[in-house]
């Protein structure tokens, strides 16, 4: 049996290694048009920023190591230019020699990946404009920084790669700006969870131009829809497109986005041709609908599944949840499943909570707070998505929640999880448990909640009572107009100051003390609502809504 794998990196290389482990006698050929067959593409920004200093560390496997360890015929600088299903042959161009030849196959695995999207704007091909996809791109950027000595850079696009590039360019000594068409960075986050990210990244000296786009690049000028920025170099990071022209030309069915349509066994519509990785359409395992979610983890799993099926072992890919994590200087941002926008688009009637918990026991030094947001289906109570922004311990909490979603857990199940605890690592009530406790309180009716986006519409005409239960010191740092002040510890003594016939909307710093206040009030016959996420979340979001965008000096 002869299998040709077109493209390496995550999906293709994983498929090759898995297939060899399952079939020692199979003939396996990898065709890669570039120089590198298996490299750490997720690590590329960190080489530019100097976190990774040895470029050889980016190369996970070489043609010689593939041959020595797993007996794979790896052909770099070899581009597959045509697939002929009728004759079961692939036309290959040797890019070094400029010659073409035919290679027969029994099976093909397509792993072409996705390429950076380059918008049709003037100046996009300028020498100081770069994209980042592979090691040659990385070396080109690194060389430009070392030789041209740019002082400033603009990153166009505020997704994962764009934000990682912004951090690493800043670490390389450049003044960095991010231009993003949306109103917030990192699309899987909701705006309210991105607000903390915005505040942090600006504190690190990176300028944000949100709700803005690039119209043209003219030398050292980046001309925006609103204003312009001076920059010595530009990184385009506005998304990726599946690279599927080879598949389309041989009759493989694509969706409207250009992604290859495969079944759960990674088979295309043409017999004996499989496809994996960023080029394929996947199923979102929360909504069960088709999606484009280009991530390294799913690509590796898909390569393994394609190899299983070629080797005669039935194996299915059951969907992608979109679990992802991002390092931003010392901050960690993690997401899984759906955000509010995607949940609404899917027609899901959902509820949500915000919690603010310490990464480990408060009495043990070095702990940090993390913001947690969880969405669940009101009908089934199943968790449909989560977002966490914080520092230490964010990733492991998100991994727990992502696993819970995969196994169909209800949000109330989080309260019952028995998670590892010791003061340096967690609290006896882990942040994941805390989220479960809060959700259970909401679902069981022990407390009602309102949100930051409800505050401005609350009546200030005396028909409801608005109550701030923070300390006087906290209130002095800022408060919400119209909220009277009674510290929590004085509430029982002063409860007669509140009219019982009016609903009470309460807030504290994070939502915990106001929950306690609501239980006190409910026990005394009041109808009480708790501000989910508290003043901390409200202030963070309002600050981002009101602070003006950066305007370059030349534009003033």
CB atoms within 10 A of CB 211: 12
> How many Cα atoms sit within 13 Å of 494 on the Cβ side?
11
Rounded to the nearest 10 degrees, the angle between the axes of helix 191-203 and helix 534-546 is 70
State residue 86 phi and psi, 5-degree precision: -65, -40
- Does residue 268 contact residue 260 with C-beta atoms inside 8 Å? yes
Tokens 């609501």 sit on residue: 518
- Does residue 9 contact residue 39 with C-beta atoms inside 8 Å? yes
Separation between Cα atoms, residue 46 and residue 513, nearest integer Å: 41
- Does residue 233 contact residue 153 with C-beta atoms inside 8 Å? yes
Q: Are strands 221-224 and 214-218 parallel, antiparallel or unpaired?
A: antiparallel
Q: Which of 42, 241, 250, 552 is catalytic?
A: 42
Alpha helix (H) residue ranges in 97-244: 135-148, 160-171, 191-203
The structure tokens listed for 115 are 């390429």
Catalytic status, residue 250: no
Give every CB contact of residue 395 below 8 A, 6+ residues apart in sequence.
Answer: 325, 332, 334
C-alpha separations of 287 from 291, 305, 388 in Å: 10, 22, 21
Angle at 360 between CA 357 and CA 361, to 5 degrees: 100
CB atoms within 10 A of CB 318: 11
Give every CB contact of residue 548 below 8 A, 6+ residues apart in sequence.
Answer: none
> Which of the residues are catalytic?
42
């Amino acid at each position: 049996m002869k299998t040709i794998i077109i493209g390496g990196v995550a999906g293709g290389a994983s498929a090759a290694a898995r297939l060899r482990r399952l079939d020692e006698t199979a003939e396996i050929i990898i065709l890669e048009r570039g120089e590198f067959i298996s490299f750490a593409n997720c690590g590329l920004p960190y080489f530019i920023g100097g976190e990774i200093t040895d470029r050889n560390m980016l190369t996970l496997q070489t043609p010689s190591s593939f041959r020595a360890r797993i007996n794979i015929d790896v052909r770099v600088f070899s581009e597959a230019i045509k697939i002929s299903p009728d004759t079961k042959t692939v036309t290959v161009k040797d890019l070094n020699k400029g010659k073409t030849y035919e290679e027969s196959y029994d099976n093909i695995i397509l792993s072409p990946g996705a390429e950076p999207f380059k918008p049709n704007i003037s100046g996009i091909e300028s020498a100081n404009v770069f994209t980042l996809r592979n090691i040659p791109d990385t070396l080109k950027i690194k060389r430009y920084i070392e030789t041209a000595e740019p002082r400033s850079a603009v990153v166009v696009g505020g997704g994962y790669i764009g934000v990682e590039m912004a951090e690493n360019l800043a670490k390389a000594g450049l003044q960095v700006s991010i231009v993003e068409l949306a109103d917030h960075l990192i699309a899987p986050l909701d705006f309210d969870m991105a607000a903390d990210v915005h505040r942090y990244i600006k504190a690190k000296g990176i300028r944000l131009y949100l709700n803005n786009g690039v119209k043209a690049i003219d030398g050292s000028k980046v001309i925006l829809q609103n204003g312009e920025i001076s920059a010595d170099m530009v990184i385009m990071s506005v998304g990726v497109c599946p690279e599927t022209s080879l598949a389309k030309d041989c009759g493989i069915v694509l969706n409207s986005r250009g992604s290859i349509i495969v079944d759960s066994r990674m088979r295309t519509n043409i017999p004996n041709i499989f496809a994996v990785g960023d080029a394929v359409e996947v199923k979102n395992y929360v909504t069960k609908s088709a999606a484009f979610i280009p991530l390294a983890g799913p690509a590796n799993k898909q390569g393994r599944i394609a190899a299983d099926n070629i080797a005669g072992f039935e194996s299915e890919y059951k969907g992608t949840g979109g679990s992802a994590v991002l390092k931003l200087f010392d901050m960690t941002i993690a997401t899984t499943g759906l955000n509010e926008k995607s949940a609404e688009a899917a027609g899901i009637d959902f509820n949500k909570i915000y919690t603010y918990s310490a990464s480990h026991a408060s009495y043990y030094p070095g702990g940090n707070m993390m913001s947690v947001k969880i969405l669940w289906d009101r009908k089934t109570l199943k968790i449909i998505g989560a977002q966490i922004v914080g520092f230490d311990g964010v990733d492991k909490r998100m991994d727990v929640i992502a696993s819970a979603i995969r196994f169909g857990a209800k949000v109330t199940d989080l309260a019952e999880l028995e998670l590892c605890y010791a003061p340096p690592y967690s609290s006896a009530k882990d942040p994941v448990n805390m989220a479960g406790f809060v959700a259970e309180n909401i679902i069981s009716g022990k407390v009602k909640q309102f949100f930051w986006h409800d505050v401005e519409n609350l009546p200030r005409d005396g028909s409801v009572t608005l109550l701030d239960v923070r300390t006087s010191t906290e209130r002095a740092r800022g408060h919400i107009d119209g909220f009277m002040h009674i510290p929590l510890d004085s509430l029982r003594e002063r409860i007669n100051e509140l009219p019982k016939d009016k609903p009470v909307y309460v807030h504290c710093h994070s939502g915990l003390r106001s929950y306690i206040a609501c239980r006190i009030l409910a026990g005394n016959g009041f109808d009480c609502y708790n501000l989910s996420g508290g003043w901390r979340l409200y202030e963070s979001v309002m600050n981002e809504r009101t602070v003006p965008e950066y305007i370059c000096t030349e534009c003033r």
